[in-house]
């Protein structure tokens, strides 16, 4: 957190994960090719907005919100997998 200019302790941190179902696109050959579609990005943005509202409701200061995995958009769970044929 210090590298982001925030002086906080672990007790100051409340994390939420936004998990959505992505579109079934991509393929597995010699490599795995899986991107995030525009629809996926919109759904993630909506989820991030809901998460922000929850954090604000519990007293978090919106100007201090940090999205660790949203920029750039990335996958962090096995549910974001391409169909294997």
**Domain assignment of residue 25, yes or no:** yes
Check: pTM over 0.85? Answer yes or no: no
Band of residue 58 on the pLDDT scale cut at 50, 70, 90: confident
Q: Is residue 79 part of a domain?
A: yes
What the block records as the tokens of 4 is: 């982001």
Residue 74 predicted with pLDDT over 80: no
Would residue 75 count as lying in a domain?
yes
Q: Is the pLDDT of residue 40 over 70?
A: yes
**Given pLDDT bands bounded at 50, 70 and 90, which one contains residue 53?**
very high
Based on its alpha-carbon atoms, the radius of gyration of the chain, rounded to whole angstroms, reads: 16
Q: What is the DSSP string of 28-82?
A: ESSSEE----HHHHHHHHHHHHHHHHHHHHTT--GGG---SSTTTT---STTS-P
How many CA atoms lie less than 13 Å away from 49 in the CB half-sphere?
A: 6
Q: Per the domain annotation, does 58 fall within a domain?
A: yes
Run of H or E residues at 7 = none
């Amino acid at each position: 957190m210090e590298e982001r200019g925030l002086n906080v302790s672990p007790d100051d941190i409340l994390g939420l994960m936004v998990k959505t179902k992505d579109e079934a696109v991509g393929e597995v050959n010699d490599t795995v090719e899986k991107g995030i579609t525009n629809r996926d990005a919109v759904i993630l943005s909506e989820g991030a907005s809901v998460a922000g509202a929850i954090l604000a409701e519990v007293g978090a200061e919106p100007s201090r919100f940090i999205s660790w995995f949203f920029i750039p958009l990335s996958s962090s769970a096995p549910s974001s997998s391409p169909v294997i044929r």
